[in-house]
């Protein structure tokens, strides 16, 4: 039997792992490997998710496999809390097995297509669309009711899963001068002057540099210019100073132009 996933400890420290097994167990936590009955101390960092692989083998008779730990907040050997484990995440190329299509209902009532993939390592639920934090409901395909139906609602034939927010996705630390200078090379920044400005920006009520004001001022200036021009023309007409354009005024063409026309005319006559 083989279990895979990741482990994240709550505090950087030396953690002692207690293995109680009948018959054999091999444990891999990141770069650390150990096996067999006993205590194994390993140094783990709090900000790292260590990939975990636990392999268990049984010959005959009684079968048992237990993994405990001791560390900060856990003075005596206890089972590792489930909150410290994360199921293994596999890419599309790593997921192999029979696929069953299903639908998940998001917290905002949107329906998302999902897949149950049943392989040799178990059953995986895959969601290809983007998700938001909250509780989702997914219907269990009839082919998998016997395998995972007991985890969900036996009447509605569905189960729940929760998407937790990642606090690392939202970092509100101020930008330094170098970072501001980098962004200003590409976009115009308008720093928030108060907490209220920041709240308005988060809610989508801040428009940054309002382009409509610039357009309104430009239209106002055009209107003033048009009024002034109309007034000026009216005054000129009233005073009789309006300029006149004479279309009947004749002017003889230049000598070079007449010579060029004569040559063209002679060439045309010779061709006929």
pLDDT in tens, the chain (272 residues): 788 888 999 999 999 999 988 888 999 998 999 988 888 999 999 888 898 989 888 888 888 888 999 999 999 999 998 888 887 655 555 567 889 999 999 998 899 999 898 877 678 888 888 888 889 999 999 999 888 888 888 888 899 988 877 666 666 677 778 888 888 888 777 777 777 777 776 666 665 555 566 777 888 889 888 888 888 887 777 776 555 555 555 566 677 777 777 777 765 444 44
Q: Which of 94, 81, 75 is nearest to 10 (CA)?
A: 81
Q: What is the pLDDT of residue 272?
A: 41
E strands in the chain: 2-7, 13-22, 24-29, 32-35, 38-44, 50-57, 64-71, 74-79, 85-87, 98-105, 111-119, 122-127, 134-139, 158-163
* Cα 190 off chain centre by: 24
Q: What is the pLDDT of residue 100?
A: 92
Measured CA to CA in angstroms, residue 191 lies from 94, 122, 133, 261 at distances of 45, 51, 29, 71
Q: Which of 128, 101, 97 is nearest to 115 (CA)?
A: 101
Q: What residue ranges of the chain are covered by domains with CATH 3.90.182.10?
A: 2-87
Q: Which of 5, 265, 205, 256 is nearest to 121 (CA)?
A: 5
Q: Are 54 and 67 in contact (CB under 8 A)?
A: yes
What gap in Å lies between CA 167 and CA 19, rounded to an integer? 33
Neighbour count for residue 161 (Cβ, 10 Å): 15
What gap in Å lies between CA 102 and CA 113, rounded to an integer? 6
Question: Options 3.30.450.20, 3.90.182.10, 3.40.50.2300, 3.40.50.300; which CATH number does 2-87 get?
Answer: 3.90.182.10
Helix (H, G, I), strand (E, B) or coil at 17: strand
What gap in Å lies between CA 272 and CA 172, rounded to an integer? 89
Q: What is the pLDDT of residue 89?
A: 58
Q: What is the pLDDT of residue 161?
A: 87
Pairing of strands 50-57, 111-119: unpaired
* Cα 24 off chain centre by: 43
What gap in Å lies between CA 147 and CA 140, rounded to an integer? 10
Q: What is the pLDDT of residue 69?
A: 93
């Amino acid at each position: 039997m083989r279990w895979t996933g990741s482990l994240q400890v709550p505090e950087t420290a030396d953690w002692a792992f207690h293995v109680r097994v009948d018959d054999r167990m091999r444990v891999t936590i990141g770069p650390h490997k150990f096996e067999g009955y006993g205590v194994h101390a390993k140094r783990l960092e709090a900000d790292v998710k260590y990939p975990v692989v636990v392999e268990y083998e049984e010959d005959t008779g009684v079968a048992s496999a237990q993994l405990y730990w001791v560390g900060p907040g856990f003075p005596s050997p206890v089972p590792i809390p489930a909150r410290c484990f994360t199921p293994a995440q596999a890419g599309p190329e790593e997921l192999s097995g029979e696929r069953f299509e299903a639908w998940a209902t998001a917290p905002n009532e949107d329906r998302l297509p999902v897949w149950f993939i049943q392989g040799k390592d178990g059953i995986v639920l895959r969601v290809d669309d983007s998700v938001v934090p909250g509780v989702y409901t997914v219907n269990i395909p009839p082919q998998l009711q016997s395998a995972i139906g007991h985890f969900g609602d036996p009447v509605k034939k569905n189960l729940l899963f929760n998407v937790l927010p990642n606090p690392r996705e939202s970092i509100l630390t101020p930008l330094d001068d170098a970072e501001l200078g980098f962004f200003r090379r590409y976009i115009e920044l308008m720093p928030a002057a108060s907490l209220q400005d920041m709240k308005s920006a988060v809610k989508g009520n801040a428009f940054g540099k309002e382009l409509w004001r610039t357009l309104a001022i430009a239209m106002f200036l055009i209107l003033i210019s048009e009024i002034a021009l109309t007034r000026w023309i009216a005054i000129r007409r009233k005073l009789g100073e309006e300029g006149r354009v004479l279309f009947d005024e004749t002017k003889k063409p230049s000598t070079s132009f007449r010579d060029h026309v004569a040559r063209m005319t002679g060439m045309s006559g010779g061709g006929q």
